[in-house]
Structure 1
Amino acid sequence: MDLAHLADALWRALTYLSVAQLHLRSNVLAVDRLDESDVKPRPAGHWGTVPGTAWVLAHAGLAAGCGIGVQLVPILGAGHAGVVQRALAWMTGDIAKMDSRYRRDADGLAALAAAFPDGDALGSETHPELPAGAYMGGWLGGAFAFAQGLALDHPNRVVVPIIGDGECETPTTAASWLAHRALSDSRVLPVVHLNGHRMGGPSLLGGMSDEEVSAYARGLGWEPVVVEVGTGAGLVEHAEFHRVLVAGVKATANGAQRVVFLRCVKGWSGPIGEHKTPLTNLTGDPCQLAALRAWLSSYRPSELFDADAHPLGALASALDLIDVGSVVPDTPPLPPSAPAAGRGFTTEVTAVLRAHAATGHLKVFSPDELRSNRLGDLQGEAWTHEVLAEEVLLGWAAGWTAAGHRGLIVSYEAFAPLLLTGLVGQLKQRRLIKHALPSINLLLTSYGWHNVYSHGDPSLITALLGTGDPAVRVFTPADSGRVAVALDEALRSTGRVNVIVAGKHTTMTHSRETIDEERHCGLAVWRHLSDPGEPDLTLVCAGDLATAVVTDAVVGIRSCSGCQIRVVNVHDLTALAEPDLHHYFGTHAAVLIVTLGHPAAIWGLLGGRLKRDVDVIGWAEPPIPMPQERLAAHAGFDVAGVTSAAEALLAKRKS
């Protein structure tokens, strides 16, 4: 049987099972006998992307199973395509491995349909443990960049992201076309699902002619092929698309930049143009129920499945052949640990990165600012990549680490909030993955205290800490030696999002006595600045500038107040969420916390657990541009401000 017949059977099965999940709760294969008891009273989900997504998945799986010579990995760009992924995973048996209720028989199929869209632990969107789900889709527009990272330095792997034409309007996807020039070894064959619509209206790309779409692609350095399907030509269309896909994979494997535009009508083979579930009143409208019966019958399910939902004929042959292209992450070696020597920011950070790069499994991604970030010696290294688009860098890092490698994004604190949606999406995705992947790591080297008015925004850390996700770690090292410690730990870790806030201008060196305790516990009492015994006032510093201010202020506060003072350094902000901080802060002392970021982030971490007088000094948005010294004074982030806040706490304590 030729591949066109196999592809057609697989496409019909995927589409049929998707429609069934959207609308049915029982009797999934009893099309002629469907009644109101078999349908969902409130169908929910997304239909419009189903036919085209199923088409590409069917052909990609068959191409991979035909011994094409490379590993072909399809990934779904649209999270709403999860219903197609579930259909495929049910037929391959992958979903039954996650939940035995969804076994490959009639009862398992009924359970699959009934559970959509609210199945526990499975949900309705793309799932990373199922075929084609390496990118989960919650971060709209990130699939292309993710695919580039997943393919990076894997010459025998071609990644095929299925990208919607609506996604092509996002900044991340738009920048990824051009950014691919910065990658020397990333084999990606994007398939743009050109169905003419985004969610609520016509897409910009869909309104362009074949000639305009091709010119757009060529202008960005990609060789386009436009294929139209869904016109009724059936097997001829399957044969042509399969030829184009296989040729594209082979060309991409040989270093070409090719893109396939799959032109079709949104929702073809069913209610045309509908984005979400089209039939929403099946129990109250007999005409809709009749329309559903006719719709399902059009896929000829009796040719695909027997009464117990086992595959028949061409579908059975297709399922025996397909390869859904899962990625097994590498397990990279680690360099030996080396103690930080306190030689300055540039030397310390460069030394850690070079040690990890020597394993062959590190990539550093930077928005064209390595030199500005005092890491100019790394420019030109094969393992560094620079492009001025933070969202693309995150996609690269997410894909690269999903393949089992270690990565670091170096950026400015002011631009890092651009990454929030993608980072939260990655946190959600990685919660569902059974194996721990290398962490996603950010080094933020320039913050508002030393920058211009437009470049002050610590919002990323505030938002990430607000998730309460234990996978989030925020490091605030006090000096360059501690930066090296935090960076080495972050690169060695798995399953986390690590953010290191470390000013590139850091020159101070503090006592190394407590570095090990800070690394293991997240914070430590600095005894060389503290009085013995129980404190009356505890000064807590988080970050290099905060530490410098507290260090300069503590002598004056002690001499004026005559009280017992303890100084605590916070190396990892999330340690402040621990349930019992008395060991560090004392049992009754007033507490003044000085932090680089928003005070709100600290209050959120403390959660009202310190039943005593507490104050927090941190970033305060300036009303107008102002010099660094005035900005610090405006926020109380100088010796005078810290001293005044400490005196107010002590006075309140005595009253």
Structure 2
Amino acid sequence: MPGEILDRPNPPPGKSQLPDSILEYGVNLATASFLTPEDLQAVIKFRRAADYIAAAMIFLKDNVLLEREIRPEDIKPRLLGHWGTCPGLVLTYAHLNLLIKKENQKMIFVVGPGHGAPAILATLWIEGSLAKFFPRYSLDKTGLKSLIAGFSTPSGFPSHINAETPGSIHEGGELGYALAVAFGAVMDKPELIVPVIIGDGEAETGPTAAAWHAAKYIDPKESGAVLPIVHVNGFKISERTIYGCMDDKELTALFTGYGYQVRVVGNDLANLDQDMAASLHWALGVIWFIQKAAREGKPIFKPRWPVIILRTPKGMGAPAKYKGEFIEGSFHAHQVPIPDAKFDGEGLKALQKWLASYKPAELFTETGRPIDEVLSVVPRDKEKRLGQVKETHAGREPIDIPDWKELAVAKGSEESCMRLVGKYMDKVFLANPTSTRIFSPDELESNKLAAVFDHTGRNFQWDEYSFGEGGRVIEILSEHTCQGMLQGYTMTGRTALFPSYEAFIGIAQTMMVQYAKFVKMAKETNFRAPNASLNYLETSTWTRQEHNGFSHQNPSFIGAVLNLKADAARVYLPPDANCFLSTIAHCLNSRNYINLMVGSKQPTAVWLSPEEAEIHCRAGASVWRFCSTDEGLSPDVVLVGIGTEVTFEVLAAAALLRKLAPELRVRVVNVTDLMILGPFGSHPHALSDTDFENLLTKDKNIIVNYHGYPRDVAGLVFGRKGAERMHIEGYREEGSTTTPFDMMLRNHVSRYHVAGEAVRGAAIFNERVALRSMELGSELLGRIKRDQKYIFEYGADPAGTYDVPPFK
């Protein structure tokens, strides 16, 4: 029965256009005549125009509006692009335009099949977004030729959606991440809805499979909503898809189990546009219903958010067959359906017939501008056009960075770096209650970060005790989902932290690399403002052997960050709690970097006062005079610690050498910013040659005790004068379920190993040390065997192992 139209939580200006049939949660819409005849014809013509442009982009370099028959010289010498997904993307984009226009709803469109760039670029051109940011793509024949001829060439857009694509917040080069990114984008954006299209090939990936549960972490009171659209066209590059082999009942059962309410579109292709329009309005109504209840203080427990299953033939609109092979509706449509069109007469005719079937003369004026009927689909409010929504390019929202020194601890005490980080993040949340979050794979308590919960909670909406309560912390045991949400949250202007066990943060490595590529390209555009950095926090490290033995020992994520472009990569290994506070405050306030912070969760010595820590972190490294011989003057050897626990071993070695070999002169150096070590010019933080020599001497041997794999440091200093004087020790891939000090011994980073290398390195310059080098070496080897025997017998480290060494 007709009744009052459902109001949205924050109604836009003007009357809602939602039909009377959306009266209750989950009521379906009739589709037969949902669109007016005028809207139906307009959206059909919009689709024809965009499909034509997308197909032309793959093939043509001239004659872009078919003003004559296609000739071989009109075709690009190298055909790149993916046609198969384009018609479905165009269909979705066209109907989202109508929805935005009628309902004045702000949306961001996240595209999982990023290889469908021709479709998105075509629609962006029609709506004027390309011309806004790139004037050469003007809405005329000249602009259209620039777009079509330049596509997949060095002078134009690449074949995948990337940061150059207006409206995009997701690198399209690797499948699996779009869904999690969409969920991150809507958090703390209550007015925003993010439709995300997931290809049925992408749906087979592990990251996508886990991300379906991300809806369970969306509080509709404080956040927007994601509208997933699963595009089932049946084929990957050369094989059937899993979803393509599932019928509607199976897919409905799957997504119902995930917690969604399902609507299938496309079983009646003759009524496709009516069905798609009605289904999107149905989904919007469901979203508004859920949000309205939450924002009126009556949240629905376990709300069933909408999901649309869109079934269309692969490469819809392409030739049905070519040279005896099925094209439309088969994997042959995935990339270039007629790959030999430039060199084969039959192919040339087939291409002419295909492109002409769109009747471009009916869709574009003589000047090359789309006709008014096509443009009528585009939202009138330019800021709501999918390519121009400011959240996709406006950069980081300013945040309040609390004074870390208020939490600093006294020099000479012991403190857990992570415990103080937890307290600091609590202050960050209090100062920025709607623009900061933590995304963590269920490890906050284990990592001693529990203080973040002093004034907030976990945002898990399917827990009966926490739903409807908000919360700054998202904990889900999927590094992929955490990474995707982190990216979406950051790309839409907010700031976040991703803490993880060191051994498993590498699960998200390729996602991080793809994001770094997006950031690199974003810096090279003129319309994207800088976003907050991605901030990673590695703890539960191999050096303290806190968990499940060898399986939980893997510092390789450091190397992945080191391999990024120098202007993005930042790796910090703060040696104590005060240095860690200084570092995290800096990282949260930075922009466009990949910040990796590595630290200990166990109480460790605090070597520096707050003032000293600030100076040390700003410099990136310094001579620690308090534990060096004569404050580091005229050393025989230089000992370098990089990382909390291995730095402790360096200081323990320095103290041991004072007793065993007082004639040996030691300079102790700590490096907290790993990037200073590279040759000058290789990184913005790299020390000049003079500063490098002042720190590490011009000619003395350098013993480096490093937290990660030795090749990290070896690669950094390659090409640096003095690199040949370095002896680098680090994690040797040796471990078991054993004690912390045994891990130092097994990986040759113990105080005894450091002292032994110091004796060998100093003997070259100090005759007194050389005279005793054999006896000193024998003494240190004996201590190694003694401690190993004790650990094997008693299952614990010898008493006093972690007493802070005295230097007075």
Task: Provide TM-score, normalisation by structure 1.
Answer: 0.95
Deviations 1:42-97 (A, max 9, x none): 3111111111111111111221122x153122111122011222212222333334
Q: Does 1:294 align with 2:383?
A: no
Task: Say if 1:649 and 1:218 are closer, same or farther in 2 by CA, change over 3 A.
Answer: same
Q: Does the Cα contact within 8 Å between 1:474 and 1:572 map onto a contact in 2?
A: yes
Q: Does 1:365 align with 2:476?
A: no
Which residue identity does 1:375 align to in structure 2? L
- Within 5 Å, give how 1:250-261 maps onto structure 2: 250-255=285-290, 256-261=304-309
How far is 1:267 from its partner? Answer: 0.6
- Within 5 Å, give how 1:106-185 maps onto structure 2: 106-120=141-155, 122-185=157-220
How far is 1:652 from its partner? Answer: 5.4
How far apart, CA to CA, are the structure 2 residues paired with 1:467 and 1:55? Answer: 37
- Within 5 Å, give how 1:447-486 maps onto structure 2: 447-451=541-545, 452-486=549-583
Q: Which residue of 2 aligns with 1:544?
A: 644
How far is 1:352 from its partner? Answer: 1.2
Q: Which residue of 2 aligns with 1:378?
A: 452
How far apart, CA to CA, are the structure 1 residues paired with 2:519 and 2:502? Answer: 24
Q: Which residue of 2 aligns with 1:30?
A: 66
Of 228, 231, 236, which residue of structure 1 is paired with 2:266? 228
Task: Say if 1:347 and 1:121 are closer, same or farther in 2 by CA, change over 3 A.
Answer: farther
Task: Provide TM-score, normalisation by structure 2.
Answer: 0.77
**Quick check: 168-177 or 306-315, which moved more?**
306-315
Q: Does 1:410 align with 2:499?
A: yes
How far apart, CA to CA, are the structure 2 residues paired with 1:253 and 1:118? Answer: 43
Q: Which residue of 2 aligns with 1:488?
A: 585
Which residue identity does 1:331 align to in structure 2? E
Of 344, 351, 357, which residue of structure 1 is paired with 2:423? 351
Q: Does 1:341 align with 2:434?
A: no
How far apart, CA to CA, are the structure 2 residues paired with 1:296 and 1:169? Answer: 32
Say which SS state the counterpart of residue 339 (structure 2) adopts.
coil
**Quick check: 331-340 or 217-226, which moved more?**
331-340
How far apart, CA to CA, are the structure 1 residues paired with 2:166 and 2:116? Answer: 12
Q: Which residue of 2 aligns with 1:420?
A: 509
- Within 5 Å, give how 1:205-284 maps onto structure 2: 205-228=243-266, 231=269, 233=270, 236-255=271-290, 256-270=304-318, 271-272=327-328, 273=330, 274-284=333-343
How far apart, CA to CA, are the structure 1 residues paired with 2:281 and 2:620? Answer: 52
Q: Does 1:497 align with 2:586?
A: no
How far is 1:573 from its partner? Answer: 1.0
Q: Does 1:507 align with 2:571?
A: no
Q: Which residue of 1 aligns with 2:479?
A: 390
Q: Does the Cα contact within 8 Å between 1:599 and 1:619 map onto a contact in 2?
A: yes
Q: Which residue of 1 aligns with 2:34?
A: none
How far apart, CA to CA, are the structure 1 residues paired with 2:151 and 2:646? Answer: 51
Which residue identity does 1:263 align to in structure 2? R
How far is 1:25 from its partner? Answer: 0.4
Say which SS state the counterpart of residue 702 (structure 2) adopts.
strand
How far is 1:242 from its partner? Answer: 0.8
Q: Does the Cα contact within 8 Å between 2:77 and 2:342 map onto a contact in 1?
A: yes
Superposition CA RMSD, Å: 2.1
How far apart, CA to CA, are the structure 1 residues paired with 2:39 and 2:267? Answer: 16
Deviations 1:538-588 (A, max 9, x none): 211111101100010013335527343221111111122214312321222
Q: How many residues align?
A: 651
Q: Does 1:566 align with 2:667?
A: yes
Q: Does the Cα contact within 8 Å between 1:439 and 1:493 map onto a contact in 2?
A: yes
Say which SS state the counterpart of residue 198 (structure 2) adopts.
strand
**Quick check: 429-438 or 453-462, which moved more?**
429-438
**Quick check: 622-631 or 331-340, which moved more?**
622-631
Q: Does 1:594 align with 2:705?
A: yes
How far is 1:392 from its partner? Answer: 0.2
How far apart, CA to CA, are the structure 2 residues paired with 1:327 and 1:161? Answer: 18
- Within 5 Å, give how 1:566-645 maps onto structure 2: 566-577=667-678, 578=686, 579-580=688-689, 581-611=692-722, 612-622=724-734, 626-645=738-757
Say which SS state the counterpart of residue 340 (structure 2) adopts.
coil
How far is 1:316 from its partner? Answer: 2.7
Q: Which residue of 2 aligns with 1:191?
A: 229
How far apart, CA to CA, are the structure 1 residues paired with 2:85 and 2:150? Answer: 20
Task: Say if 1:175 and 1:317 are closer, same or farther in 2 by CA, change over 3 A.
Answer: same
- Within 5 Å, give how 1:316-335 maps onto structure 2: 316-319=375-378, 321=380, 323-325=384-386, 326-328=389-391, 329=394, 331-335=397-401
How far apart, CA to CA, are the structure 1 residues paired with 2:363 and 2:634? Answer: 77
How far is 1:27 from its partner? Answer: 0.7
How far apart, CA to CA, are the structure 1 residues paired with 2:127 and 2:106? Answer: 18
Which residue identity does 1:506 align to in structure 2? P
Deviations 1:245-299 (A, max 9, x none): 1221232233351100100111111031221112111222111111111111111
Q: Does the Cα contact within 8 Å between 1:448 and 1:455 map onto a contact in 2?
A: yes
Deviations 1:445-496 (A, max 9, x none): 1112223111111111112102243212111011112221111111111111
Task: Say if 1:319 and 1:179 are closer, same or farther in 2 by CA, change over 3 A.
Answer: closer
Which residue identity does 1:415 align to in structure 2? F
Q: Does 1:19 align with 2:55?
A: yes
Q: Does the Cα contact within 8 Å between 1:466 and 1:604 map onto a contact in 2?
A: no
Which residue identity does 2:86 align to in structure 1? V
How far apart, CA to CA, are the structure 1 residues paired with 2:156 and 2:68? Answer: 32
How far apart, CA to CA, are the structure 1 residues paired with 2:110 and 2:606? Answer: 47
**Quick check: 568-577 or 618-627, which moved more?**
618-627
Task: Say if 1:168 and 1:653 are closer, same or farther in 2 by CA, change over 3 A.
Answer: farther
Say which SS state the counterpart of residue 72 (structure 1) adopts.
coil
How far apart, CA to CA, are the structure 2 residues paired with 1:96 and 1:650? Answer: 66
Task: Say if 1:480 and 1:534 are closer, same or farther in 2 by CA, change over 3 A.
Answer: same
Unaligned runs of 5+ in 1: none
Q: Which residue of 2 aligns with 1:438?
A: 532
How far is 1:208 from its partner? Answer: 0.2
Of 39, 44, 68, which residue of structure 2 is paired with 1:3? 39
How far is 1:514 from its partner? Answer: 3.1
Of 305, 309, 317, which residue of structure 1 is paired with 2:364? 305
How far apart, CA to CA, are the structure 2 residues paired with 1:316 and 1:396? Answer: 34
Which residue identity does 2:427 align to in structure 1? A
Q: Does 1:535 align with 2:535?
A: no
Deviations 1:492-549 (A, max 9, x none): 1111111111111132111225312222221122121223434332211111101100
How far is 1:108 from its partner? Answer: 2.3
Q: Does the Cα contact within 8 Å between 1:614 and 1:649 map onto a contact in 2?
A: no
Q: Which residue of 2 aligns with 1:401?
A: 490
Q: Does the Cα contact within 8 Å between 1:117 and 1:124 map onto a contact in 2?
A: yes
Task: Say if 1:595 and 1:463 are closer, same or farther in 2 by CA, change over 3 A.
Answer: same
**Quick check: 213-222 or 549-558, which moved more?**
549-558
Task: Say if 1:125 and 1:88 are closer, same or farther in 2 by CA, change over 3 A.
Answer: same
Q: Does 1:83 align with 2:118?
A: yes
Which residue identity does 2:444 align to in structure 1? L
Task: Say if 1:122 and 1:653 are closer, same or farther in 2 by CA, change over 3 A.
Answer: farther
Which residue identity does 2:285 align to in structure 1? K
**Quick check: 576-585 or 73-82, which moved more?**
576-585
**Quick check: 531-540 or 320-329, which moved more?**
320-329
How far apart, CA to CA, are the structure 1 residues paired with 2:508 and 2:219? Answer: 24
How far is 1:627 from its partner? Answer: 4.3
Q: Which residue of 2 aligns with 1:520?
A: 618
Deviations 1:81-132 (A, max 9, x none): 1122221222233333444433322222222222221234742211334344
Q: Does the Cα contact within 8 Å between 1:189 and 1:248 map onto a contact in 2?
A: yes
Q: Does the Cα contact within 8 Å between 2:100 and 2:379 map onto a contact in 1?
A: no
